[in-house]
Amino acid sequence: MGSRPKLTRQRRMEILEAAVEMIVERGLPETRVADVAERAGTSAALVLYYFDSKDRLLTEALSYVEDRFYLQAFHDLTGIDSASERLAVLIARSCPPSGGDANGDWRLWFELWTRALRDPETARKRAALDRRWRATIADVVRDGQRSGEFASVDADDLALELASLIDGLAIQVVLEDPEVGPDRMRRICLEAAGRALEIDLSAFVPAPSTMTAPRTARAHVSAAEE
Amino acid sequence: MGSRPKLTRQRRMEILEAAVEMIVERGLPETRVADVAERAGTSAALVLYYFDSKDRLLTEALSYVEDRFYLQAFHDLTGIDSASERLAVLIARSCPPSGGDANGDWRLWFELWTRALRDPETARKRAALDRRWRATIADVVRDGQRSGEFASVDADDLALELASLIDGLAIQVVLEDPEVGPDRMRRICLEAAGRALEIDLSAFVPAPSTMTAPRTARAHVSAAEE
DNA sequence: AAGGCTCCTGACTCGCCGTTCAGCCAACGG
DNA sequence: CCGTTGGCTGAACGGCGAGTCAGGAGCCTT
């Protein structure tokens, strides 16, 4: 199998990338194949040629970003050994930027959630992704407890609490509630985590200069599945 | 003005009610006027006769449920004098029921969030509603602090934290993550609030029998606006 | 050179759905 | 009675957008 699918791969990627952009801009249900085609610089027919239907296109686009997100998160966390710092970084990179510029990832989660309400397949994948994410947090917590940095609380409960707190706050930030900006979001998350773990995390927050995401993770894995 | 708008009022309500049901079932963007008409037992033309366009219909439907939600919440909280109990009730009634039956309100918030991503009007109204909601929580917190039940923390910060935690957890529950059910959600919220306020809230949780919402608030106010 | 294969496209079909319109019917006022 | 008004509708219109199809242009093999 797979004799010379070089160009095919490339094209599929380009189209997926275009699809993601369009979904962020126009929303999942109102994204038209023609939009994606135009953004990718080709014809609508080609898009349907690679992905048999609009629905499959959108589904693959969502899996694509899910993979990308998790790899990015994983990447950002490796190389840091202090559990406190890992937790602080994890929180910091979860805060959507203030301007309506690059919070595209969060916008995608919104779309994912509403789609998951009706599409069981999406629901399954989303739940799996979120479990992995919470497990990552829980691991950091356990690390810190082993090293004595953190107090002893149930790591899974705290992971769920933190992940949920982040989600809920991100909603406000992304929707530009004037009372809730990224700074306040970060502070509240750090305080909540610190309160539970009995530690002051504010000292571990990374310099904001390196905070902007390192662009293009170029994920070479396909749908991780559970 | 308003000579005999009796039937008109009635019909408008029926249609709005039908619209809300359809939005919960099919989702905001894929709700068709014909669906709403059928559910309301009339013709599509009539729906357009009362509400000039599909867009206006959906907008009004959303305002309608926003009002209904807030009145319901307000109603559930009056008559309880202990701040601790008020807080526990507030948390308890925020947990979506387990089955996919009656968590319609939460499904609507999902739709609202994604719509707010692109429609500034929706965004404004949503932000106002959420601010009111957080203010309600903050008031309860301040009450408890005045009475000495709660420790002294910033009430507004804690209100934001709690409201966000509830939102984030509700996402998992509504999307039926097998690891996160209503019970665990309630427990986590109570623990988080208790940790911040230095009090054990678990004793104040209301009997689960009276937990199911008292049906039909019959809001007679129109769009509260900010 | 010829054939075949892969990638690609413009132009079309077809169903769906919001919206419009011309008019119906029942009540009611004079 | 008859006219008018208010509530209501079936039928038609029109645009939009997903998916199809017949073919075309380049490249690789033989």
Between A48 and A218, name the one with better pLDDT: A48
Predicted pLDDT of residue A85: 95
CA of B55: nucleotide with nearest C1': C18
Query: How many separate helices (H) and strands (E) can be counted in chain B?
Result: 9, 0
* Dist. CA B212–CA A21, nearest whole Å: 42
Predicted pLDDT of residue B7: 72
Chain Cα centroid distance, residue A144: 24
Name chain B contacts of A165, Cβ cutoff 8 Å.
161, 164-165, 168
* Dist. CA B211–CA B155, nearest whole Å: 26
Q: How confident is the model at residue A203 (pLDDT cuts 50, 70, 90)?
A: confident
Predicted pLDDT of residue A138: 98
Percentage above 90 pLDDT, chain A = 79
- Total-model pTM: 0.90
Name chain B contacts of A160, Cβ cutoff 8 Å.
169, 172, 179-180, 184, 188
A157: nearest CB among B160, B161, B188: B188
Q: How confident is the model at residue B205 (pLDDT cuts 50, 70, 90)?
A: confident
* Dist. CA B2–CA B57, nearest whole Å: 21
* Separation in Å: C9 C1' and A48 CA: 12
Q: Do B169 and A160 touch (CB under 8 A)?
A: yes
Tens-place pLDDT, residues B176-187? 999 999 999 999
Chain Cα centroid distance, residue B6: 28
Q: Do A196 and B196 touch (CB under 8 A)?
A: no
Q: How confident is the model at residue B66 (pLDDT cuts 50, 70, 90)?
A: very high
Comparing alpha-carbon positions, the chain B residue that sits nearest to A109 is B114
Comparing alpha-carbon positions, the chain B residue that sits nearest to A172 is B127
Whether the per-residue pLDDT at B161 is higher than 70: the answer is yes
- The structure tokens listed for A118 are 């009706």
Q: How confident is the model at residue A204 (pLDDT cuts 50, 70, 90)?
A: confident
Q: Which of A18, A120, A14, A122 is nearest to A66 (CA)?
A: A122
* Separation in Å: D17 C1' and A66 CA: 28
DSSP string, B22-63: HHHHH-STT--HHHHHHHHTS-HHHHHHHSSSHHHHHHHHHH
Angle, nearest 10°, between helix axes A120-146 and A83-92? 150
CA distances to A201, B170, B205 from B191, rounded to whole Å, are 20, 16, 12
Predicted pLDDT of residue B52: 96
Q: Which own/partner contact pairs does B57-62 have at CB distance under 8 Å and 24+ positions apart? A: B57/B15, B57/B19, B57/B33, B58/B19, B58/B23, B58/B28, B58/B31, B59/B121, B59/B122, B60/B16, B60/B19, B61/B16, B61/B19, B61/B20, B61/B23, B62/B23, B62/B108, B62/B111, B62/B112, B62/B115, B62/B122, B62/B125
Whether the per-residue pLDDT at B192 is higher than 60: the answer is yes
* Separation in Å: C16 C1' and B42 CA: 20
Predicted pLDDT of residue A140: 97
Whether the per-residue pLDDT at B221 is higher than 50: the answer is no
First-to-last alpha carbon distance for chain A, in angstroms, is: 25
Tens-place pLDDT, residues A33-75? 999 999 999 999 999 999 999 999 999 999 999 999 989 988 9
Tens-place pLDDT, residues A2-40? 345 567 889 999 999 999 999 999 999 999 999 999 999
Residue type, B64: Y
- Strand segments, DSSP code E, in B37-130 are none
Number of other residues whose CB lies within 10 A of the CB of residue B63: 19
Residue type, B160: L
Is residue A138 within 8 angstroms of chain B, CB to CB? no
**Average pLDDT over every residue of B161-169:** 98
Predicted pLDDT of residue A208: 63
Average of per-residue pLDDT values in chain B: 89
Chain Cα centroid distance, residue B100: 16
**Average pLDDT over every residue of B127-154:** 97
Chain A interface disruption, residue of B113, B115, B121, most A CBs within 10 A: B113
Question: Which nucleotides of strand D are protein-proximal, with an atom < 7 A from a CB?
Answer: 6-11, 17-22
* Separation in Å: D24 C1' and A46 CA: 14
CA distances to A7, A14, A18, A170 from A52, rounded to whole Å, are 18, 16, 16, 34
CA of B40: nucleotide with nearest C1': D8
**Average pLDDT over every residue of A140-153:** 97
Whether the per-residue pLDDT at B19 is higher than 80: the answer is yes
**Average pLDDT over every residue of B195-214:** 75
B225 CB burial (10 A radius; 0-12, 13-18, 19+): exposed
Q: Do B177 and A127 touch (CB under 8 A)?
A: yes
**Average pLDDT over every residue of B67-82:** 91
Q: Which of A125, A114, A120, A118 is nearest to A65 (CA)?
A: A125
